[in-house]
Amino acid sequence: MSRASSIAYPNIALVKYWGKRDEALILPAAGSLSLTVDDLATTTAVEVTDRPGEDIFILNGRAASASATERTSAFLDVIRQQVGDDRAAVVDSTNAGPTGAGMASSASGFAALASAAASAYGLSLDQPALSRLARRGSGSACRSVIGGLAVWHAGDELESFAEPVPGPDLRLVPVIVSGRPKAVSSRRAMRLSRDTSPFYPAWVSSTEETLRQMIAACAAGDIERIGQLTESHALRMHAVIASSTPPVRYLSPASLTVLDAVQELRADGLAAWATADAGPNVCVLTTPGDAGQVAQAMAGLAVSDPAEGAPGPLRILGPGPGAHLIPDPVELTRGAS
Ligand code: DP6
Query: Would you place residue 310 in the very low, low, confident or very high pLDDT band (cuts 50, 70, 90)?
Result: low
Nearest-atom index, ligand 1, CA of 26: 5
Integer Cα distance of 126 and 36 in angstroms: 19
- Cα–Cα distance measured from residue 188 to residue 204, given in angstroms and rounded to the nearest whole number: 17
| Whether 143 contacts 322, CB under 8 Å | no
Atom of ligand 1 nearest to the CA of 17: 18
Does pLDDT of 32 surpass 90?
yes
Instruction: Report the pLDDT averaged over residues 57-76.
Output: 96
The pLDDT score that the predictor gives to residue 333 is: 57
Mean pLDDT across 133-147? 98
Task: Read off the pLDDT of residues 155-194 as tens digits, 9 standing for 90 and up.
Answer: 999 999 999 999 999 999 999 898 777 789 999 999 999 9
Which domains, and CATH codes, for the chain? 2-167+327-336 (3.30.230.10), 171-308 (3.30.70.890)
CA distances from 155 to 30, 140, 203 (A): 8, 15, 17
Lowest model confidence (mean pLDDT) among 28-32, 200-204, 328-332: 328-332
pLDDT of residue 183: 82
pLDDT tens for each residue of 211-244: 999 999 999 999 999 999 999 999 999 999 999 9
Percent of the chain with pLDDT strictly greater than 90: 86
Rounded mean pLDDT, 325-331: 82
Asked if 152 contacts 160 with a C-beta cutoff of 8 angstroms, the reply is: yes
Burial group, residue 209, by CB count within 10 angstroms (0-12, 13-18, 19+) = exposed
pLDDT in the model for residue 178: 85
Q: Is the pLDDT of residue 92 over 80?
A: yes
Give me ligand 1 centre to Cα 188, in Å.
11
Q: Residue 228, Cβ neighbours under 10 Å: how many?
A: 15
Instruction: In whole angstroms, give the CA distance from residue 125 to residue 263.
Output: 44
Q: Given ligand 1 and candidates 25, 37, 132, 140, which is best to mutate, with the most ligand atoms within 8 Å of its CB?
A: 140
Ligand 1, closest atom to CA 32? 18
Q: Collect all residues with Cβ–Cβ distance below 8 Å to 266 and sequence separation of at least 6.
A: 272, 273
8 A C-beta contact, residue 304 and residue 310:
yes
pLDDT higher than threshold 80 for residue 331 = no
**Distance from Cα 104 to the centre of ligand 1, integer Å:** 8
Q: Ligand 1: which of 9, 11, 17 to mutate, judged by most atoms within 8 Å of the beta carbon?
A: 17
Question: Residue 81 Cα, ligand 1 centroid: separation in angstroms?
Answer: 25
Using DSSP's 3-state secondary structure scheme, residue 87 falls into strand
* Terminal-to-terminal C-alpha distance of the chain: 18
Q: How far is the CA of 278 from the centre of ligand 1 (A)?
A: 8
For 145, phi then psi, to 5°, come to: -70, -20
pTM (two decimals): 0.94
* Ligand 1 center–CA 56 separation, angstroms: 25
pLDDT(313) > 80? no
Using the atom order of ligand 1, give the atom closest to the CA of residue 15: 18
Counting from 1 in the atom list of ligand 1, the atom nearest the Cα of 106 is: 3
- Ligand 1 centroid to 185 CA: how many Å? 10
Looking at residue 304, its pLDDT comes to: 66
Nearest CA residue ID for atom 4, ligand 1: 277
Ligand 1 neighbours by CB, cut-off 6 Å: 13, 16-18, 26, 32, 106, 138-140, 186-187, 190, 277-278
Over residues 53-74, the mean pLDDT reads 96
Of ligand 1's listed atoms, the one at least distance from the Cα of 187 is 6
Question: Is pLDDT above 90 for 130?
Answer: yes
Q: Binning pLDDT at 50, 70 and 90, where does residue 204 land? A: very high
pLDDT level of residue 96 (50, 70, 90 thresholds):
confident
Q: What is the SS3 assignment for 198-235?
A: CCHHHHHHHHHHHHHHHHHHHHHCCHHHHHHHHHHHHH
What is the mean pLDDT of the segment spanning 269-294?
A: 97
Q: What is the mean pLDDT of the chain?
A: 93
pLDDT of 1: 60
253 confidence band (pLDDT: 50, 70, 90): very high
CA 102 to centroid of ligand 1, rounded, Å: 9
Is the predicted pLDDT of residue 312 greater than 90, yes or no? no
Q: Which residues pair with residue 275 across a beta bridge?
A: 283
Residue type, 8: A
